[in-house]
Amino acid sequence: MIYTEQNVLHNTLQSLKNQGKTIGLVPTMGALHNGHLSLVKKAKEENDITVVSIFVNPTQFNNPTDLERYPRTLEADAALLATVAPDLLIFAPTVADIYGSDVSSESFDFGQLDKEMEGSSRPGHFDGVGTIVNKLFEIVLPDRAYFGEKDYQQLLIIKKMVEQKGLPVTIVPCAIVRNEEGLALSSRNALLSEEMKKRATFIYRTLMAAKERFATHTPTEVEAWVKEVFAKESDFSLEYFTITDADTLQHITKKEGGKNYRAFIVVHAEGVRLIDNMSM
Ligand code: PAF
Protein backbone atom coordinates (compact mmCIF):
# COMPACT_ATOMS: atom_id res chain seq x y z
CA MET A 1 0.00 0.00 0.00
CA ILE A 2 1.36 3.45 -0.92
CA TYR A 3 0.89 6.30 1.56
CA THR A 4 1.48 9.84 0.37
CA GLU A 5 0.41 11.79 3.46
CA GLN A 6 2.45 11.72 6.62
CA ASN A 7 -0.55 12.14 8.94
CA VAL A 8 -2.37 9.14 7.52
CA LEU A 9 0.73 6.94 7.73
CA HIS A 10 1.61 8.17 11.21
CA ASN A 11 -1.87 7.43 12.59
CA THR A 12 -1.87 3.96 11.04
CA LEU A 13 1.55 3.15 12.45
CA GLN A 14 0.77 4.63 15.86
CA SER A 15 -2.22 2.33 16.25
CA LEU A 16 -0.17 -0.70 15.10
CA LYS A 17 2.50 0.23 17.61
CA ASN A 18 -0.14 0.51 20.34
CA GLN A 19 -1.05 -3.10 19.51
CA GLY A 20 2.57 -4.07 20.28
CA LYS A 21 3.77 -4.42 16.66
CA THR A 22 7.42 -3.62 15.87
CA ILE A 23 8.27 -1.36 12.95
CA GLY A 24 11.29 -1.47 10.64
CA LEU A 25 12.04 1.51 8.39
CA VAL A 26 14.11 1.46 5.20
CA PRO A 27 14.61 5.10 4.13
CA THR A 28 15.36 5.47 0.41
CA MET A 29 15.28 8.01 -2.36
CA GLY A 30 13.85 5.44 -4.78
CA ALA A 31 15.29 4.04 -8.03
CA LEU A 32 15.43 0.85 -6.03
CA HIS A 33 17.88 -1.96 -6.71
CA ASN A 34 19.02 -5.19 -5.09
CA GLY A 35 20.99 -3.25 -2.47
CA HIS A 36 17.74 -1.73 -1.20
CA LEU A 37 16.02 -5.10 -1.41
CA SER A 38 18.62 -6.62 0.90
CA LEU A 39 17.75 -3.94 3.48
CA VAL A 40 14.03 -4.60 3.00
CA LYS A 41 14.49 -8.36 3.44
CA LYS A 42 16.43 -7.79 6.65
CA ALA A 43 13.78 -5.36 7.95
CA LYS A 44 11.06 -7.89 7.18
CA GLU A 45 12.86 -10.64 9.07
CA GLU A 46 13.35 -8.49 12.16
CA ASN A 47 10.07 -6.55 12.44
CA ASP A 48 6.29 -7.10 12.28
CA ILE A 49 5.76 -4.15 9.94
CA THR A 50 8.17 -2.87 7.28
CA VAL A 51 7.96 0.65 5.91
CA VAL A 52 9.99 1.78 2.88
CA SER A 53 10.10 5.52 2.36
CA ILE A 54 10.71 6.80 -1.17
CA PHE A 55 11.49 10.48 -1.16
CA VAL A 56 14.07 12.45 -3.13
CA ASN A 57 14.97 14.84 -0.34
CA PRO A 58 15.75 18.31 -1.78
CA THR A 59 17.55 19.63 1.30
CA GLN A 60 20.42 17.14 0.97
CA PHE A 61 21.30 18.19 -2.59
CA ASN A 62 23.70 21.09 -2.91
CA ASN A 63 23.66 20.86 -6.70
CA PRO A 64 20.31 21.66 -8.40
CA THR A 65 21.25 19.72 -11.55
CA ASP A 66 22.00 16.63 -9.47
CA LEU A 67 18.58 16.96 -7.77
CA GLU A 68 16.86 17.37 -11.12
CA ARG A 69 18.68 14.41 -12.70
CA TYR A 70 18.10 12.09 -9.76
CA PRO A 71 16.07 9.13 -11.09
CA ARG A 72 12.39 9.03 -10.03
CA THR A 73 10.74 5.67 -10.76
CA LEU A 74 7.95 5.19 -8.21
CA GLU A 75 5.88 2.72 -10.26
CA ALA A 76 8.84 0.45 -10.99
CA ASP A 77 9.96 0.76 -7.35
CA ALA A 78 6.55 -0.32 -6.05
CA ALA A 79 6.51 -3.27 -8.48
CA LEU A 80 10.00 -4.35 -7.39
CA LEU A 81 9.10 -4.10 -3.69
CA ALA A 82 5.97 -6.18 -4.30
CA THR A 83 8.19 -9.06 -5.49
CA VAL A 84 9.89 -9.35 -2.08
CA ALA A 85 7.30 -7.97 0.32
CA PRO A 86 3.75 -7.49 -0.97
CA ASP A 87 2.55 -6.53 2.52
CA LEU A 88 4.93 -3.67 3.21
CA LEU A 89 3.95 -0.03 3.52
CA ILE A 90 5.44 2.45 1.07
CA PHE A 91 5.67 6.09 2.07
CA ALA A 92 6.06 8.34 -0.98
CA PRO A 93 5.20 11.87 0.14
CA THR A 94 5.47 15.12 -1.79
CA VAL A 95 7.99 17.79 -0.84
CA ALA A 96 5.09 19.96 0.40
CA ASP A 97 3.78 17.18 2.64
CA ILE A 98 7.18 16.83 4.32
CA TYR A 99 8.40 20.43 4.40
CA GLY A 100 5.31 22.59 3.93
CA SER A 101 6.51 25.90 2.52
CA ASP A 102 9.82 25.88 4.43
CA VAL A 103 12.16 23.63 2.47
CA SER A 104 15.17 24.01 4.77
CA SER A 105 17.40 21.96 7.06
CA GLU A 106 17.93 21.86 10.78
CA SER A 107 21.55 22.66 11.75
CA PHE A 108 23.29 19.76 13.44
CA ASP A 109 26.59 19.48 15.25
CA PHE A 110 28.07 16.17 14.17
CA GLY A 111 31.51 17.05 15.57
CA GLN A 112 34.27 15.98 13.20
CA LEU A 113 32.15 13.38 11.43
CA ASP A 114 30.82 15.71 8.73
CA LYS A 115 33.90 17.86 8.23
CA GLU A 116 35.61 15.71 5.58
CA MET A 117 34.68 13.74 2.48
CA GLU A 118 30.96 14.09 1.62
CA GLY A 119 30.67 16.82 4.25
CA SER A 120 33.27 19.08 2.66
CA SER A 121 32.46 18.07 -0.94
CA ARG A 122 28.73 18.68 -0.51
CA PRO A 123 28.17 21.57 1.95
CA GLY A 124 24.87 21.24 3.84
CA HIS A 125 24.37 17.64 2.66
CA PHE A 126 24.43 16.02 6.09
CA ASP A 127 22.19 18.67 7.69
CA GLY A 128 19.69 17.76 4.94
CA VAL A 129 20.11 14.04 5.60
CA GLY A 130 19.77 14.50 9.38
CA THR A 131 16.66 16.66 8.87
CA ILE A 132 14.81 14.19 6.67
CA VAL A 133 15.81 11.10 8.63
CA ASN A 134 14.69 12.73 11.88
CA LYS A 135 11.36 13.70 10.27
CA LEU A 136 10.91 10.15 8.97
CA PHE A 137 11.60 8.75 12.45
CA GLU A 138 8.93 11.08 13.90
CA ILE A 139 6.40 10.00 11.29
CA VAL A 140 7.14 6.26 11.16
CA LEU A 141 8.14 5.61 14.83
CA PRO A 142 10.51 2.78 13.84
CA ASP A 143 12.04 0.35 16.32
CA ARG A 144 14.81 -0.29 13.79
CA ALA A 145 16.04 1.63 10.76
CA TYR A 146 18.25 0.13 8.05
CA PHE A 147 21.11 1.94 6.30
CA GLY A 148 23.63 0.64 3.77
CA GLU A 149 27.37 0.82 4.43
CA LYS A 150 27.84 2.23 0.93
CA ASP A 151 27.04 5.58 2.52
CA TYR A 152 29.26 4.83 5.49
CA GLN A 153 29.72 8.44 6.58
CA GLN A 154 25.94 8.91 6.49
CA LEU A 155 25.53 5.77 8.62
CA LEU A 156 27.87 7.10 11.34
CA ILE A 157 26.22 10.52 11.23
CA ILE A 158 22.75 9.05 11.68
CA LYS A 159 23.99 6.95 14.60
CA LYS A 160 25.39 10.14 16.13
CA MET A 161 22.10 12.02 15.61
CA VAL A 162 20.16 9.19 17.27
CA GLU A 163 22.56 9.28 20.23
CA GLN A 164 22.45 13.10 20.51
CA LYS A 165 18.65 13.28 20.36
CA GLY A 166 18.19 10.12 22.47
CA LEU A 167 15.86 8.63 19.84
CA PRO A 168 14.32 5.20 20.60
CA VAL A 169 15.47 3.54 17.37
CA THR A 170 18.21 1.01 16.64
CA ILE A 171 20.28 1.77 13.55
CA VAL A 172 21.07 -1.43 11.65
CA PRO A 173 24.07 -1.24 9.27
CA CYS A 174 23.83 -3.37 6.11
CA ALA A 175 26.80 -4.52 3.99
CA ILE A 176 27.43 -3.03 0.53
CA VAL A 177 25.80 -5.05 -2.28
CA ARG A 178 27.80 -5.18 -5.54
CA ASN A 179 27.03 -6.28 -9.09
CA GLU A 180 28.95 -9.17 -10.68
CA GLU A 181 31.75 -6.80 -11.69
CA GLY A 182 32.07 -5.43 -8.15
CA LEU A 183 30.40 -2.05 -8.79
CA ALA A 184 28.58 -0.98 -5.61
CA LEU A 185 24.85 -0.92 -6.35
CA SER A 186 23.51 2.62 -6.36
CA SER A 187 20.46 4.43 -7.73
CA ARG A 188 22.86 6.63 -9.69
CA ASN A 189 24.12 3.60 -11.63
CA ALA A 190 20.87 3.84 -13.60
CA LEU A 191 22.43 6.91 -15.26
CA LEU A 192 25.47 4.94 -16.54
CA SER A 193 25.70 3.24 -19.93
CA GLU A 194 25.78 -0.59 -19.86
CA GLU A 195 29.38 -0.41 -21.08
CA MET A 196 30.39 1.88 -18.21
CA LYS A 197 28.60 -0.30 -15.62
CA LYS A 198 31.01 -3.07 -16.63
CA ARG A 199 34.08 -0.84 -16.86
CA ALA A 200 33.40 0.71 -13.46
CA THR A 201 34.65 -2.56 -11.99
CA PHE A 202 37.93 -0.60 -12.12
CA ILE A 203 36.87 1.28 -8.97
CA TYR A 204 36.32 -1.94 -7.03
CA ARG A 205 39.53 -3.52 -8.31
CA THR A 206 41.50 -0.43 -7.30
CA LEU A 207 39.96 -0.52 -3.80
CA MET A 208 40.90 -4.21 -3.47
CA ALA A 209 44.44 -3.49 -4.63
CA ALA A 210 44.67 -0.54 -2.24
CA LYS A 211 43.60 -2.82 0.60
CA GLU A 212 46.36 -5.26 -0.29
CA ARG A 213 48.95 -2.45 -0.46
CA PHE A 214 47.77 -1.04 2.85
CA ALA A 215 49.24 -4.12 4.56
CA THR A 216 52.79 -3.14 3.51
CA HIS A 217 52.66 0.60 2.74
CA THR A 218 51.81 3.76 4.64
CA PRO A 219 48.35 5.31 4.16
CA THR A 220 49.99 8.27 2.38
CA GLU A 221 51.74 5.93 -0.07
CA VAL A 222 48.52 4.07 -0.79
CA GLU A 223 46.66 7.34 -1.40
CA ALA A 224 49.38 8.56 -3.77
CA TRP A 225 49.30 5.24 -5.64
CA VAL A 226 45.51 5.39 -6.14
CA LYS A 227 45.81 8.96 -7.46
CA GLU A 228 48.48 7.84 -9.96
CA VAL A 229 46.37 4.90 -11.13
CA PHE A 230 43.35 7.14 -11.75
CA ALA A 231 45.44 9.82 -13.48
CA LYS A 232 46.07 7.26 -16.26
CA GLU A 233 42.32 6.60 -16.78
CA SER A 234 40.71 9.21 -19.00
CA ASP A 235 37.17 7.86 -18.48
CA PHE A 236 37.28 8.18 -14.71
CA SER A 237 37.94 11.34 -12.78
CA LEU A 238 38.93 10.86 -9.13
CA GLU A 239 37.29 13.37 -6.77
CA TYR A 240 38.87 11.92 -3.66
CA PHE A 241 40.44 8.79 -2.20
CA THR A 242 41.20 8.90 1.48
CA ILE A 243 41.97 6.47 4.29
CA THR A 244 40.49 7.22 7.70
CA ASP A 245 39.97 5.82 11.14
CA ALA A 246 36.78 3.76 10.66
CA ASP A 247 35.15 5.10 13.84
CA THR A 248 36.04 8.80 13.84
CA LEU A 249 36.47 9.24 10.04
CA GLN A 250 39.62 11.25 10.74
CA HIS A 251 42.18 11.06 7.95
CA ILE A 252 45.24 9.03 8.96
CA THR A 253 48.88 9.25 7.96
CA LYS A 254 50.11 6.30 10.01
CA LYS A 255 48.72 3.00 11.27
CA GLU A 256 48.32 2.19 14.96
CA GLY A 257 47.62 -1.19 16.56
CA GLY A 258 44.05 -2.00 17.60
CA LYS A 259 42.36 0.47 15.24
CA ASN A 260 40.11 -0.14 12.27
CA TYR A 261 40.58 1.76 9.04
CA ARG A 262 38.43 2.43 6.03
CA ALA A 263 39.14 3.81 2.56
CA PHE A 264 36.63 6.10 0.83
CA ILE A 265 36.50 6.93 -2.84
CA VAL A 266 34.45 9.19 -5.12
CA VAL A 267 34.83 8.91 -8.88
CA HIS A 268 33.05 10.66 -11.74
CA ALA A 269 32.24 8.62 -14.84
CA GLU A 270 29.97 9.77 -17.69
CA GLY A 271 29.05 12.75 -15.50
CA VAL A 272 27.80 10.46 -12.72
CA ARG A 273 29.22 10.70 -9.21
CA LEU A 274 30.04 7.20 -7.92
CA ILE A 275 30.83 6.58 -4.27
CA ASP A 276 32.33 3.50 -2.62
CA ASN A 277 34.31 2.45 0.44
CA MET A 278 36.07 -0.55 1.85
CA SER A 279 37.39 -1.70 5.19
CA MET A 280 41.20 -1.73 5.01
O1 PAF B 1 20.78 7.19 1.55
C2 PAF B 1 19.79 7.76 1.06
O3 PAF B 1 19.16 7.27 0.11
C4 PAF B 1 19.32 9.07 1.64
O5 PAF B 1 20.40 9.85 2.05
C6 PAF B 1 18.31 8.90 2.78
C7 PAF B 1 18.92 8.20 3.98
C8 PAF B 1 17.10 8.11 2.28
C9 PAF B 1 17.82 10.26 3.26
O10 PAF B 1 17.20 10.97 2.23
To test ligand 1's pocket by mutation, which of 51, 118, 132 has the most ligand atoms within 8 angstroms of CB?
Answer: 132
pLDDT at 275 over 90: yes
Annotated catalytic sites, by residue? 36
What's the pLDDT score for residue 185? 95
Cβ distance 98 to 61 under 8 Å? no
To test ligand 1's pocket by mutation, which of 29, 77, 134 has the most ligand atoms within 8 angstroms of CB?
Answer: 29
What's the pLDDT score for residue 170? 98
Cβ distance 190 to 208 under 8 Å? no
Pocket flag, ligand 1, residue 132 (CB < 6 Å)? yes
What's the pLDDT score for residue 121? 86
Q: Which residues contact 154 (CB under 8 A, 6 or more apart)?
A: 118, 126, 129, 147
pLDDT 10s digits, 137-152 = 999 999 999 999 999 9
pLDDT at 224 over 90: yes
Q: Which of 181, 213, 219 minimizes the C-alpha distance to 197?
A: 181
pLDDT 10s digits, 230-251 = 999 999 999 999 999 999 999 9
pLDDT at 188 over 90: no
pLDDT at 160 over 90: yes
Cα–Cα distance for residue pair 181/79, rounded to 1 Å: 26
Cα–Cα distance for residue pair 108/162, rounded to 1 Å: 12
pLDDT at 85 over 90: no
| Structural domains of the chain, with CATH | 2-174 (3.40.50.620), 187-279 (3.30.1300.10)
Average pLDDT of 157-165?
98
* Cβ neighbours, 10 Å, residue 214: 18
Q: Whose CA is nearest to atom 8 of ligand 1?
A: 28
What's the pLDDT score for residue 205? 97
pLDDT at 190 over 90: no
Average pLDDT of 12-41?
97
Cβ distance 52 to 90 under 8 Å? yes
Cα–Cα distance for residue pair 46/30, rounded to 1 Å: 22
